[in-house]
Amino acid sequence: MKILGSGHYVPKTIVSNDDLSKIVDTNDEWISSRTGISTRHISDGEGVSDIASKAAILAMEDANINATDIDMILLATMTPDSMLPNNASIIQKNIGAINATCFDLNAACSGFLFALNTANAYLSSGMCKNILVIGAETLSKIVDWSDRSSCVLFGDGAGAMVVTVDDTKAYYSVSGSDGSKGHVLTGGATLLKNMLVNKDETNIMTDDYYMHMDGQEVFKFAVTKVPECISAVLDKASLGADDIDYYILHQANVRIISSVAKRLGVSPDKLPVNLNKYGNTSAASIPILFDELRKNGTLKDAKRVVFSGFGGGLTWGASLVEL
């Protein structure tokens, strides 16, 4: 599998740590020192399918490919605009990819990695030739803006890649899930109610609609699991940590990223960071960072990168891609 092109889009509205200190009891010093985040972009009216379509168009331009040559659209998101239609189909309509089969996939912050694995499987089987893989989130709609322990962490955005069949480019991946720990990161719940059996209840939203997180448990899980799955993917490819040009990690917390660099024994320069600008954009964070590095020339001479992330489910994964 080869990455032909990439693109990203973030909504225009920027919310700073000082802005948040006006709505919850927090401050720039706490947020910056504990997370590395300074600002995040928040959607003002644009849905996931809108921002994903914009990232997709940029990725197709970068790949120099027509929308009609895309035969699959895979959207990783946990904040779709609707369940029906699936949002990949809305993107298809927006960008004119009339020959694409379209579906959404949810694995929280690991969603983009799982979508990339899915794309690789479709390409390897010969079922598809050119796939648009997108990670996009409007997390702002499930964040509890009165909960200072979580609202400071997240932002909205979209990143996309066009991938194609190329037998000369190896792709290795590992992934996993542990449903028994799902309770440490939850959100988006709606109740099983209807007017036939719950005549007084019309509102299907509950408190569980908003995101709840046991931050310390997620932190401990991430600093163990991410280096573990990166080592596993390196073993699969018979490569050492220094053979990788860049580790493009899910952008959740700068302390998690530094800890991974230490555990792998590589220079922190190999683990670029942009979460200071965007916060945690979940499934979008890896393709947004990849696109920024590609467009600013950082990846010009790079031969191999590893993507790795973790998230709700719990889920995790690492993918080694030859550029």
Give the active site residue among 17, 102, 109, 120: 109
- Name the token pair of 40: 């995040």
Per CB under 6 A, the segment of 25-33, 57-65, 197-205, 261-269 that binds ligand ACO is 25-33
Which positions from 217 through 276 interact with ligand ACO, judged by CB under 6 A?
218-219, 222, 252-253
Pick from 44, 311, 29, 320: nearest CA to 185: 311
- Find the binder of ligand ACO among 79, 312, 318, 319 (CB under 6 A): 312
The binding track of 48-67 with respect to ligand ACO, each residue x by CB under 6 A or -, is --------------------
Q: Please tell me whether residue 216 binds ligand ACO under the rule CB under 6 A.
A: yes
Is the Cβ–Cβ distance between 30 and 21 less than 8 Å? no
Decide if 307 contacts 222 (C-beta within 8 A): no
Rounded Cα distance, 37 and 142, in Å: 19
Tokens, residue 149: 């322990």
- The answer to the question of residue 282 lying near ligand ACO (CB under 6 A) is yes
108 in contact with ligand ACO (CB under 6 A):
yes
User: How many residues in total does the chain contain?
Assistant: 323
What burial letters (b/e) apply to 145-157, b meaning 16+ CB within 10 Å?
eeebebbbbbbbb
Q: 159 with 287: CB under 8 angstroms?
A: yes
Q: Amino acid letter at 88?
A: A
Among 2, 30, 103, 276, binds ligand ACO (CB under 6 A): 30
Choose the catalytic residue: 8, 106, 250, 253. 250
The distance of closest approach from Cβ of residue 52 to ligand ACO in the complex, given in angstroms and rounded to an integer, is 18
**Shortest Å, Cβ 276 to ligand ACO:** 14
**Cβ pair 66, 96 in contact under 8 A:** no
Q: Is residue 185 packed enough to be buried (19+ CB in 10 Å), middle (13-18) or exposed (0-12)? A: buried
Binding-site size, ligand ACO (CB under 6 A): 24
- Asked about 109 being catalytic, the answer comes back as yes
* Distance of alpha carbon 96 from alpha carbon 102, whole angstroms: 12
Clarify whether 296 is annotated catalytic.
no
Binding mask 143-182 for ligand ACO (x = CB under 6 A): -----xx--xx-----------------------------
| Of 134, 160, 185, 293, the one binding ligand ACO by CB under 6 A | 185
35 in contact with ligand ACO (CB under 6 A): yes
The residue within the footprint of ligand ACO, chosen from 13, 26, 38, 224 (CB under 6 A), is 26
Q: Quickly list DSSP for 205-221.
A: B-GGGS-EE-HHHHHHH
183: annotated active-site residue: no
- Establish whether the linkage from the previous residue to 85 is cis, with ω within 30° of 0: yes
**Site residues, ligand ACO (CB under 6 A):** 26, 30-31, 34-35, 108-109, 148-149, 152-153, 185, 213, 215-216, 218-219, 222, 252-253, 280, 282, 311-312
Active site residues: 109, 250, 280
